[in-house]
Amino acid sequence: CFVCLFLSFTSQVCHSCFRHQAKLHRCAQCKFAHYCDRTCQTACWDEHKQECGAIKKIGKAPSENIRLAARVLWRIHKDTGIVSDSQLISVDQLEDHVADLPEEDLKQLKTDVHNFLEYWSYGRKQHSVDYISHIFGIIKCNGFTLSDQRGLQAVGVGLFPNLCLVNHDCWPNCTVILNHGNQSALSSALHSQRRIELRALEKIPEGAELTVSYVDFLNLSTDRQKKLKEHFHFDCTCEHCSQHIKDDLMMAATESEGNKSSADKVKEVTSFSKGCLEKIESSRIQGEYHEVVKLCRECLAKQENVLADTHLYKLRVLSVASEVLSYLQSFSEAADCARRMVEGYMKLYHPNNALLGMAIMRAGVTHWHAGEIEMAHGMICKAYGILMVTHGPNHAITRDLESMRTQTETELKMFKQNEDVYHTMRDAALKNQPMASKQ
């Protein structure tokens, strides 16, 4: 890791190990940084000390971008841009694409540079505006989002120079994940540091280029190309984009005999779904979950027998519905939505896609909550298989899955021996202990 930074809008995350903690200790100097304990604070001090001084002087923490840029520069001053022998490229050599930025972004960049210089202005080495713009440009197109140890929430952003050498493909043969390491093992010999991992998704022939994807595959090829152009300034000419592979499935209408809908009907339902998805999103943001559920049900009913099970609009509605229904503890309906969603995902995603693995895991947990133990166990096993590839056996999520797998296996055995006893015990357990503890 060259430079990592946690995002300040995520509260209750340790700035050192990125773990969620209910109670964190504040840095006495800047009153901005928060840590689990002394160990985390000490581990992070080298990265934090200059930042700590700067924040103290200007009285508040600047935006993420500015803090990250400053960290990059402190790091460059310390080690001439190369951190270790295994680093293949110096930060200065990375692409910044400043010349490609649209007017609006250039304005923002100017403001950022201005604020940066103020933050940086305490008797340190001075830099030209061009050089600072270069650093901001690098962060914008090479910054990597870091999620918490359960992979649920974006908590930080990091810069990893070697990763910037891996090109994009919408159907990649590798994936990048953040391993938070393990500092909780009793023996310090078993401790491992936080690190970024480039992992193979399949057997890669010798000499083949390693690729990762910068965007979620579940978008039409033109939409992926648009995103890549906007954020990373290149035209994707990967095989899946140039041949529009799977675009047809993502837009498909139902095919079953006697059920074929007219082109007009498909058009009508598609545009209805589009509008409905916008309403669903705004209701969700406002926390009106019952309204979200109502809209989802309405939309799914309209789509029935018109849009295929792999249609993106159907999958998006199912995804929100399963999440919100789970939250509202309507587990049976949530499980049904989750199952339909992952069935669609499996027809679209690479079989070892990390997002697919995570979706199957959540679907498995939802089925578990719904008491559908057989399906739950099957899904958890399937997710475990994918995450062993994408996250590896030592990742916190994989270890969670492993214990869920053992637990569902035991419950499944119990269920097969005696269904009635299983349900009685389950009901009793449900009354005594909130199911949320499984989340």
Kind plus residue range of the DSSP H or E element containing 144 = strand 144-147
Q: Is 44 in the site for Zn ion (CB under 5 A)?
A: no
Q: Taking the complex as a whole, how short is the minimal distance between the CB of residue 144 and Zn ion, in angstroms?
A: 19
Stretch that binds Zn ion, among 28-36, 153-161, 301-309, 315-323 (CB under 5 A): 28-36
Angle between helices 103-119 and 38-58 (to 10 degrees): 100
Build a one-symbol-per-residue string for 361-390: x at contacts with Zn ion by CB under 5 A, - elsewhere.
Answer: ------------------------------
d(CA 267, CA 251): 11
Build a one-symbol-per-residue string for 135-174: x at contacts with Zn ion by CB under 5 A, - elsewhere.
Answer: -----------------------------------x----
Q: Choose, by CB under 5 A, the member of 5, 13, 30, 389 that binds Zn ion.
A: 30
C-beta of 241 vs 312, nearer to Zn ion: 241
Q: Taking the complex as a whole, how short is the minimal distance between the CB of residue 3 and Zn ion, in angstroms?
A: 17
Question: What is the chain's Cα-based Rg?
Answer: 24
Q: Is 40 in the site for Zn ion (CB under 5 A)?
A: yes
Q: Are 220 and 249 in contact (CB under 8 A)?
A: no
Stretch that binds Zn ion, among 15-23, 260-268, 298-306, 419-427 (CB under 5 A): 15-23
Q: Choose, by CB under 5 A, the member of 5, 13, 14, 370 that binds Zn ion.
A: 14
Q: Is 241 in the site for Zn ion (CB under 5 A)?
A: yes
DSSP string, 95-120: ---GGG--HHHHHHHHHHHHHHHHHT
Look at residues 278, 271, 290, 275 and name the one whose alpha carbon lies nearest to residue 333.
290
Q: Taking the complex as a whole, how short is the minimal distance between the CB of residue 175 and Zn ion, in angstroms?
A: 16
Q: Is 250 in the site for Zn ion (CB under 5 A)?
A: no
Q: Is 33 in the site for Zn ion (CB under 5 A)?
A: yes
Q: Is 293 in the site for Zn ion (CB under 5 A)?
A: no
Q: Are 220 and 250 in contact (CB under 8 A)?
A: yes
Residues numbered 50 to 89 that lie near Zn ion (CB under 5 A) are: 52
Q: Taking the complex as a whole, how short is the minimal distance between the CB of residue 334 and Zn ion, in angstroms?
A: 33
Look at residues 304, 220, 210 and name the one whose alpha carbon lies nearest to residue 261.
304
Q: Choose, by CB under 5 A, the member of 3, 13, 16, 313 that binds Zn ion.
A: 16
**Which residue shows structure tokens 């359960």?**
150
- Kindly give the pairing relationship between strand 167-168 and strand 211-212: parallel
Q: Choose, by CB under 5 A, the member of 3, 5, 36, 386 that binds Zn ion.
A: 36
Stretch that binds Zn ion, among 40-48, 94-102, 174-182, 328-336 (CB under 5 A): 40-48
Look at residues 403, 428, 424, 406 and name the one whose alpha carbon lies nearest to residue 415.
424
Q: Taking the complex as a whole, how short is the minimal distance between the CB of residue 145 and Zn ion, in angstroms?
A: 19
Q: Are 81 and 92 in contact (CB under 8 A)?
A: yes
- Kindly give the pairing relationship between strand 167-168 and strand 174-179: unpaired
Instruction: Give the pair of three-digit tokens for residue 381.
Output: 């096993």
Q: Facing residues of 145 across strands?
A: 157
C-beta of 69 vs 170, nearer to Zn ion: 170
* Sheet arrangement for strand 3-6: 3-6, 154-159, 144-147
Q: Count how many Cα atoms sit within 13 Å of the Cα of residue 162 in the half-sphere of its side chain.
A: 15
d(CA 88, CA 210): 15
Q: Choose, by CB under 5 A, the member of 73, 218, 236, 373 that binds Zn ion.
A: 236
Q: Are 194 and 4 in contact (CB under 8 A)?
A: yes
Stretch that binds Zn ion, among 8-16, 204-212, 371-379, 408-416 (CB under 5 A): 8-16
C-beta of 40 vs 387, nearer to Zn ion: 40
C-beta of 33 vs 401, nearer to Zn ion: 33
Residues of the shown chain interacting with Zn ion in the complex, contacts defined by CB under 5 A: 14, 16-17, 27, 29-30, 33, 36, 40, 52, 170, 236, 238, 241
